[in-house]
Amino acid sequence: MSRNEGMDRRQLLRLAGLSAAGVGLTAAGCGSGGGSNGAVTIRHAWWGADDRAKKVQECVRLFEKKHPKIKVKTDFQQYADFWKKFNTQAAGGNPPDVIQNAVTFLRKYEAKNVLLDLNPQAKKGNLQLDGFRSGLEKFAEIDGKLLGVPVGSNSMALVIDEKVYEKAGIDHSLGWTWDDWYAGLRKIKSVSHMAGDSGPHGIMYLYDLILRQNGKAFFTKDGMGFGEAELLPYWTESLARVKAGIYADQKKVEQIKPASALAKGISAGEFTWDNFSVRYSAEGKSSYGLAPIPSTDGKKTGQYLGSLMLSGTARTKHPAEVATFISFMTHDPAVARIMGYDRGVPATTAQFEAFQPADAPSKAIGAYETEIADAGVLEPITPHPAGADVVEAAFLRIGSDMSLGKSSPQDSVKQFFSEAKTALASN
């Protein structure tokens, strides 16, 4: 996952899910060609804002200088527009040779034969696969196929208002439990007369960690990894906490979007991906920090590293050049110095060591990921089934509607599983 600047996450997920429907490779391929000087041209597409585009293009110029026989044509869009365009290109048999990708989409596009298996290129020496940081070694392997290579990492964290937590005297060190966390929320309510959390009940990736702490997971490789019996008490308790003011007033949370409830002083904390945390200092007036994920037993957090990745597409006529470009983007130290933490913490040790951030939020992100890696809590990520992006959007939307009083927890749970079943069956 990476920041999708300027858009509400619910909107992004909805648009991405709808636009991805029905993509397949049925038309004849139209791969990239060669230039008049004998150079091979490949196409690279990604999503992001203008700042990311400038950085990627600078990296491309450096790559072309080091590999003069490979030219890279670039294209970028906002998140939702990227997937719309990519789906159209893929359906027409002419997708870009290299795309920015995420784990949510791996099985969806693998099932439609869109993605390139990079293992053969690694065996030929065109793609370097060693030197990745702990937790990222086999990030995008599905059924023996290597469908992507991580360029950066992130992990779920609790972003807190440090001043509020300090005033309430809350110990949030690694190893704290959900009971410790909830006791802290009640203390914040008592001491500072504010909600302790923005409301975590619609965050699929947080609920996945809770399930993993208890021996399950949100997804299996084939579908859902839990049932109504697990979700109903979770959402019932969440609604009770909203009504009690332990979680923030959801009407206020909705009113200030896309601004963060934490940054606007409506709550003292919220769960999100660690690399999203840079937004709070820009939006808010307090001091913000990263706290570790609480656990059931004080040990197993269920955490893994998420990541943006680079994937090749199956219709490329230049798999060796694609692999060479991906290897450069993930290993060359100069790329890290250009990109910084724009796409998360650099995935390889060489790039992680090459860039030392100067700003406090980025330093905190790097320190946080180092801490959880050293603590040994990181586990392998479970590849998501096709349709996972639509399921995530439904979880967010239905959980939000429930907390706004639009439906009961019982009806919300039934609606979610009905929509999830449809989403997974139709992909």
- pLDDT at residue 14 above 80? no
Residue 91 has pLDDT above 50, yes or no: yes
What was the pLDDT predicted at 134? 86
| Range with the poorest average pLDDT among 126-130, 195-199, 381-385 | 381-385
**pLDDT tens digit string along 318-330?**
999 999 999 999 9
Tell me whether residue 369 is in a domain: no
Range of the domain at 44: 9-151+308-355
What is the pLDDT averaged over residues 183-206? 97
The sign of the CA dihedral 106, 110, 111, 114 is: positive
* 152-163 confidence digits (pLDDT tens): 999 999 999 999
Whether 58 and 184 map to the same domain: the answer is: no
Does residue 367 lie within any of the structural domains? no
Residues 297 and 316 in one domain: no
Task: Return the higher-pLDDT residue of 165 and 104.
Answer: 165
pLDDT at 62: 98
pLDDT at 387 over 70: yes
Taking every pair of C-alpha atoms in the chain, what is the biggest distance, in angstroms?
A: 72
Give the mean model confidence (pLDDT) for residues 379-386.
83
Asked if residue 93 belongs to a domain, the reply is yes
| 103 part of a folded domain | yes
At residue 282 the predicted structure's pLDDT band, cuts being 50, 70 and 90, is confident
Statement: residue 54 has pLDDT above 90: yes
Residue 404 shares a structural domain with residue 299: yes
Query: What pLDDT, on a 0 to 100 scale, did the predictor assign at position 213?
Result: 97
Q: What is the pTM of this model?
A: 0.84
Strands 308-312, 149-150: pairing is antiparallel
Give pLDDT, residue 183. 98
Q: Give percent of the chain with pLDDT exceeding 70.
A: 91
Looking at residue 32, what is its pLDDT? 52
Domain assignment present for 368: no
Does 115 share its domain with 200? no
Q: Give per-residue pLDDT as tens, 364-378.
A: 999 999 999 999 999
**CATH number for 220:** 3.40.190.10
Residues 132 and 254 in one domain: no
Give pLDDT, residue 140: 86
Domain assignment of residue 214, yes or no: yes
Neighbours of 142 (CB within 10 A): 18
Q: Which pLDDT does position 97 carry in this prediction?
A: 98
- Would 366 be classed as within a structural domain? no
Task: Tell whether 129 and 190 lie within a shared domain.
Answer: no
Whether residue 166 sits in one domain with residue 136: no
Are 80 and 178 part of one and the same domain? no
pLDDT one-digit tens code per residue, 241-257: 999 999 999 999 999 99
Asked whether residue 416 is assigned to any structural domain, the reply reads yes
| Alpha-carbon dihedral sign for residues 40, 61, 53, 159 | positive
Instruction: Decide which of 19 and 53 is more confident.
Output: 53
**Which amino acid does the sequence have at 109?**
Y
Which residues are CB-neighbours of 276 under 8 A, at least 6 positions away?
1, 3, 154, 159
d(CA 311, CA 323): 9
Mean pLDDT for the stretch of residues 3-32: 40
Q: If you write DSSP's letter for every residue of 329-375 in order, what string do you get?
A: HHH-HHHHHHHTTBTBEESBHHHHHH----SHHHHHHHHHHHHHHHT
Q: What is the pLDDT of residue 427?
A: 66
pLDDT level of residue 2 (50, 70, 90 thresholds)? very low
Packing angle, helices 50-66 and 319-331, rounded to 10: 110
Nearest by Cα to 246 from 307, 295, 188, 332: 188
Same domain, residue pair 399 and 289: yes
Q: Are residues 293 and 342 in the same domain?
A: no
* pLDDT tops 90 at residue 79: no
Supply the pLDDT for residue 37.
63
Instruction: Give the pLDDT score at 33.
Output: 57
416: left (phi over 0), alpha (psi -120 to 50) or beta: alpha
My answer on whether 245 and 324 are in the same domain is no
* Surface-to-core class of residue 260, CB atoms within 10 Å of its CB (0-12 exposed, 13-18 middle, 19+ buried): buried
Q: Of 174-183, 215-224, 331-340, which gets the smallest average pLDDT?
A: 215-224
Question: Total domain count for the chain?
Answer: 2
Pair (289, 349) in one structural domain: no
Lowest mean pLDDT among 45-49, 123-127, 402-406: 45-49
- Whether the per-residue pLDDT at 18 is higher than 60: the answer is no
Q: How confident is the model at residue 27 (pLDDT cuts 50, 70, 90)?
A: very low
**β-strand pairing of 145-146 with 288-291:** unpaired
